[in-house]
Amino acid sequence: MKIIGPIAGIGSRLKPFTLSKPKAFLTVAGKTVLDHILLKFTNTFDSDTELILIVGYKKRQIMEYIQKHYDEKFKLTFIEQIPRGYEEGIPYYWGLGEAIYLAHTRFKESQSKNLEDDKREGSLIFLGDMIPFDEYSYLMYKYWESDVDGIITVMKVPKENASSYGVVIVDDDNLIQKLVEKPKEFVSDLAIAGLYSFSNTVTCALFKNLKKYLDQRTETSKEIYLTQSLQDLVDQGYKIAAVELKQGIMDFGRPSELLMGNKYLLEQNFIRSEDFQNFNITVEKSFIKNPVYIGKNTKIINSVIGPFISMGADSYIENCILENSVIESRTHLNNLISKNSIIGSNVKVENISKDNLIIGDKSTY
């Protein structure tokens, strides 16, 4: 089985926080979002598994980091998604559909002896800003145990929010009958949750479906989405099952979801005062309320930090009251009172009392 990860996009909903880093490189609870995803994979897949990353925005930054940290954990393949164009120097792309299609060169159509072999040669597709609460082993168990050609993860969402998602309609056996992208009228509360696993036959069929829409592009076309090509698979008679993630998924694509995911990850892994010496963390006349994560070589003076603070390494915090926020590395904060904020790396903020800040890297505020 091969793993496909489309991570080329900038993450426009998190601007300006992502102007100097890919959205998959946002750091929460001491690790990047991509680290949280890939480390889950290492618990389920062995080092012979090919990891195909579709890169674009900040591609060199991604490739160097992945090669340094994951070269012995996966067989690495990088494929570049070429920008469709640029706006103010920032690239934009043809979308998720094209990104996934670019992985077609790593797959070959073949006649497998049986469905099990076909599944073994298939694909697992993940999105770079979504982390399931459930373990990937649960997903793969559902994939292997069922007499289906593939699975798509779903999660139940409130009826009033269903129009914000791609949703699926299923039969009594949870086989998908229809996929609808952001329906104007309510048709289902099962939202697509961003993890897909298909047999080799279905993966190759998906590539053909995507190519059909890619070949129809014009300069004025919208970006190529994945949903219609998945619907084509269903119409072509492939058995695709909806697998509900009981615990849901962390979506890091929007500021509010980023902070919610940060809270969950901190509850699983936070720093304790006995770790401060090992991390060279200095705390003077301050109160630290867990769960928090504080990076190495950070100094905190006369401040109240937490709960739910992710703070990067080499930061300096003085006279601050901070709660429920993500703060990147090498950041200098003085006289700041804030919650529900996202602050980038190498930022200097002084003398402000304001919530819901979103500040990009290398800024002064």
Residues 324 and 219 in one domain: no
Residues 15 and 78 in one domain: yes
Residue 220 has pLDDT above 70, yes or no: yes
Residue 16 has pLDDT above 90, yes or no: no
Residues 250 and 281 in one domain: no
Using alpha carbons, select from 195, 75, 42, 24 the residue that is nearest to residue 126: 195
Residues 237 and 309 in one domain: no
> Does some domain include residue 265?
no
Residue 17 has pLDDT above 70, yes or no: no
> Does some domain include residue 262?
no
pLDDT digits (tens, 9 = 90+) for 100-139: 999 999 999 887 778 889 999 999 999 888 887 777 787 8
3-class state of residue 330 by DSSP: coil
What the block records as the tokens of 210 is 């995507």
We report the CATH number of the domain holding residue 329 as 2.160.10.10
Q: pTM for the full model? A: 0.89
Residues 293 and 330 in one domain: yes
Residues 156 and 293 in one domain: no
DSSP-assigned letters across all residues of 204-263:
HHHHHHHHHHHHT--TTPPPPPSHHHHHHHHHTT--EEEEE-TT-EEE-SSHHHHHHHHH
What is the rounded average pLDDT of the residues 267-277?
88
pLDDT digits (tens, 9 = 90+) for 58-69: 899 999 999 999
Domain boundary pick from 206, 228, 257: 257
Please count the structural domains in the chain. 2
Residues 233 and 142 in one domain: yes
Lowest mean pLDDT among 84-88, 191-195, 251-255, 329-333: 251-255
We report the CATH number of the domain holding residue 113 as 3.90.550.10
Residues 295 and 161 in one domain: no
Triad 235, 237, 242: Cα angle to 5°: 85
Residues 250 and 307 in one domain: no
Residues 104 and 218 in one domain: yes
Contact 121, 109 (CB under 8 A): no
Domain boundary pick from 231, 257, 283: 257
Domain boundary pick from 257, 283, 308: 257
Q: Can you tell me the distance from the alpha carbon of 35 to that of 37, in angstroms, rounded to the nearest whole number?
A: 5
Residue 12 has pLDDT above 80, yes or no: no
Q: Which domain holds residue 300?
A: 270-359
Contact 328, 348 (CB under 8 A): no
Residues 279 and 224 in one domain: no
Mean pLDDT of the chain: 91
**Maximum average pLDDT range among 37-51, 159-173, 311-325:** 311-325
Confidence of residue 13 (pLDDT cuts 50, 70, 90): low
